[in-house]
Amino acid sequence: MKTAEIAQRYLDYFEKNGHTIVPSASLVTDDPALLFTVAGMVPFIPYLSGDVPAPYARVADVQKCLRTNDIEEVGKTPRHGTFFQMLGNWSFGDYFKEDAIRYAWELLTAPEADGGLGFDAKDLWVTVYEEDDEAFELWERIAGLPAERIQRLGKDTNYWSTGLPGPAGPCSEIFFDRGPEYGADGGPATDDDRYVEIWNLVFMQYEITNVRSKYDFDIVGELPNKNIDTGMGLERIAFIKQGVDNMYETDQVRPVLDAAVALSGRAYGANHEDDVRFRVVADHVRSSLMLLSDGVTPSNDGRGYILRRLMRRAIRSMRLLGVEGPTFAQLFAVSRDAMKDTYPVVESDWARISQYALAEEATFLRTLAAGETILEESLAQTRAAGGSTVPGAEAFLLHDTYGFPIDLTLEVAEEAGLTVDRASFDRLMKQQRDRAKADARSRKRLLADTSIYRVFRAHGETVFTGYTDLETESRVLGILVDGASVDRALTGQIAEVILAETALYAESGGQVADKGVIVGPGYELDVIDVQRPVAGLISHTVEVTTGEVGVGQAATTVVDAANRRAARQAHSATHLVHAALRDTLGKTATQAGSLNRAGYLRFDFTWGQSLSPETRSEIEEIANNAVRDNLEVTTRVLPLAEAKDLGAQALFGEKYGDVVRMVDIGGPWSRELCGGTHVSSSAEIGLVNLVGESSVGASNRRVEALVGLDAFRELAAERAIVSQLTSTLKTPRDQLPARIAELAANLKAAEKKIAQFEARALGERLPQLVDSARRIGRFQVVAQSLGTAGSADDVRSLALQVRDRLGADAAAVVALGAEVGGRAVVIVATNDTARTAGAKAGVLAKSAAAALGGGGGGRDDVAQGGGTDAAAMPAALDAITSALESQAA
């Protein structure tokens, strides 16, 4: 049974049983405590917690999920994967425990011919929470399971909570017995791979508080509306129904594994380590494909870092399989073909997805080449020092700074006959993980608990009137001070104010929040920020500037009209720039983020190289032509599917409902899904002035522009500068570029002559420096300050000349210091005789740099140190001579 067929049978069954079928939400969740949708229940958290009223009583879905907390187990067990699909059925205060158990058992055991999944009841085991007698009895009655196949387990496995105050409850898990060839008898309690968990039924029935840990809390009482939250792993069902040993061999994953086998020339099933690598490639390529399809792009932090890690682990695994060249063109195409029937976007958006994948692979292959060079130097230094172990700190630096995998470091070191201080490396990695976990806990603590807004959201959605009005009368529904609900806020306090209606725009879609005030009888509030803490609710962060505001009072929101007008200009101009980019660069130049505020826009887009000045001018001209043409700006509210059929551009990663707002500028020329505020015609934008273009990643570019009066002021300032230059240089405006180029050439020639003079002056000091040599133990030492020098290269050249003049028989150590461009520089050079006697230039340079308040190091024969404290040069040179004296002693 194909994976897609299993999913369809699931949806058909629950639709027949009165469930609304909803599409998968994005892997990019809008939950601020999570990077990704890590479980099927994530999109439904607001409904399960009661923060937002559920729009349906019962629902079923197939949800895309991504989890990397067990990434090291991928490929080693039959069930660990980073991307997976969760089949879920949900009840929000509708049916409960009995129906949830009945639905699960009926679907699992009904014959395939009748639309079921055709499991044999004798192969299924069940676990329940040890105190849940009701669930135990229901399984006996509904499924007819013997008591010995219903196992009672503790809170650590069979009790669900978020780890925060709120809803919780016992759960019941269904397991498939793979048979005695896979492990010991004894049921799921043995925790053996023989028993595969396929479905988890969560009975969300209690409210908990005083949470001391995920399994230690106080139960306040039963929830007023009991919920059902279930999840069945699609990949787990698929590998069982398809008769294969693990999820990597199912129909949506195996094609990538087979492609990796073909590229490597190695056999699958012949070697355990190779098999793990093949599975890692198959899993990570699919996960990367799905992340890219949801708008995530590789970067060094957040979601982009997770994607980058997955892609680089896949590249590393292919390398360990003997393939050193690029493979993503083949592997991603195969994964696309395996997933496109279920997720058509991987094919329709293939040009953009493949562009990112190939660029990231090329970048990492270059990183590997550079990392190997750095590692070779480290290995050489370890051998030269007579050691056999590469320090863990150097391996961690390669991993953390250069992205060079520890596995490859170990492999290269082993080939060189050396080892790596793995314990030190692991210690540094643990410290890094601990910092990341502490940060994640902090974010979860600060951001995840939105239950305080539940009572306000129960009044309904906040009505936003700002599309048509700049003032709106309303009433105060609630006030929060320091996160607690209060009756009133006093003069000078910072508070959150919840209103029934508002004309103030809440930050979203790249547009910053409106400025303005909220006024009422005897009070005035200055609006600091406007946000949407939960779906459908708008919260105003304010400072009480006059009087005091209380719950239930009348309130009028007043938008700063000038700021709103400039923000509308910027947001509409963003749409023009996006359309101009696509006109100029093609359809693969898609939006990857934006920021709009009064008079300014920033627009990120997918593109792998810098824009030429001619291209920038063309984009700017297209946008301003649209302004000149006074194109009509219209908005429509319509179903999402209809908007997409009309060609509306959607921002990847943005969450859209079934009904969306579509903004047209000039009809289909610019057509985007957008909830922001806009001008009514393009001429209102006034002017678009592109002021910057830069890189924000391997395949992302950013353009910045000023809009309206801000754009005019920038051009006026540039005009003033040009006027000043024409006056100062007494040159007509059209001849300025040539005149400035002439002056720059003259300056460069003068600087070259000065450098030659300074170098010649330094060279004339050569005899005096050689004569200044003094003996320190076995060494002939020159340690002198040169004053100022044109460049560090001049100092280096002179130090090498002095070293050579001292002769090969002498153990020559030369340390020359100088001030170069306001910074202190010390060059140390040693000859073979000195190095044999123990003088290492890199060590000596480092000791000098410490005195200068900087850093240094280098090779044993020549090295450089430096710092900001030029006055400490005598102390720096003394540090070198002291080090040599201690060696001599």
| Residue set of the binding site for Zn(2+) | 571, 575, 674, 678
HSE value, Cβ hemisphere, 13 Å, CA-based, for 456 = 31
Distance in angstroms (rounded) separating the CA atoms of residues 842 and 846: 6
Distance in angstroms (rounded) separating the CA atoms of residues 603 and 593: 6
Distance in angstroms (rounded) separating the CA atoms of residues 206 and 94: 16
Distance in angstroms (rounded) separating the CA atoms of residues 874 and 884: 16
Distance in angstroms (rounded) separating the CA atoms of residues 487 and 178: 60
Query: What is the 8-class DSSP label of residue 462?
Result: P
HSE value, Cβ hemisphere, 13 Å, CA-based, for 578 = 29
- Contact call for residues 816 and 784 (beta carbons, < 8 A): yes
Sign of the dihedral defined by the CA atoms of residues 579, 25, 342, 12, in that order: negative
Distance in angstroms (rounded) separating the CA atoms of residues 537 and 458: 10
**Pick from 239, 160, 150, 165: nearest CA to 202:** 160
HSE value, Cβ hemisphere, 13 Å, CA-based, for 589 = 21
**Pick from 164, 51, 53: nearest CA to 452:** 51
Cβ neighbours, 10 Å, residue 131? 14
Measured between alpha carbons, how far is residue 71 from residues 31, 74, 521 in Å? 22, 5, 58
Maximal C-alpha separation, the chain: 104
Both tokens assigned to 533: 């803490």
**Pick from 113, 94, 157, 154: nearest CA to 130:** 154
Cβ neighbours, 10 Å, residue 448? 17
Distance in angstroms (rounded) separating the CA atoms of residues 855 and 848: 9
- Contact call for residues 828 and 865 (beta carbons, < 8 A): yes
Distance in angstroms (rounded) separating the CA atoms of residues 672 and 837: 73
Distance in angstroms (rounded) separating the CA atoms of residues 2 and 748: 70
Measured between alpha carbons, how far is residue 356 from residues 35, 297, 313, 328, 878 in Å? 20, 7, 16, 10, 54
Residue keyed to tokens 């999920």: 65
Q: Which residues are annotated as a binding site?
A: 571, 575, 674, 678
Residue keyed to tokens 């089949």: 87
- Contact call for residues 878 and 817 (beta carbons, < 8 A): no
HEC string of 11-58? HHHHHHCCCEECCCCCCCCCCCCCCCCCCCCHHHHHHHHCCCCCCCCE
Q: List, in sequence order, the alpha helices (H) in 546-601.
A: 561-585
Measured between alpha carbons, how far is residue 27 from residues 37, 81, 339, 351, 736 in Å? 5, 15, 15, 20, 54
Distance in angstroms (rounded) separating the CA atoms of residues 612 and 609: 9
Q: In this structure, what is the dihedral angle of CA atoms 9, 14, 15, 19, given to the nearest 10 degrees?
A: -150
**Pick from 23, 32, 35: nearest CA to 66:** 35
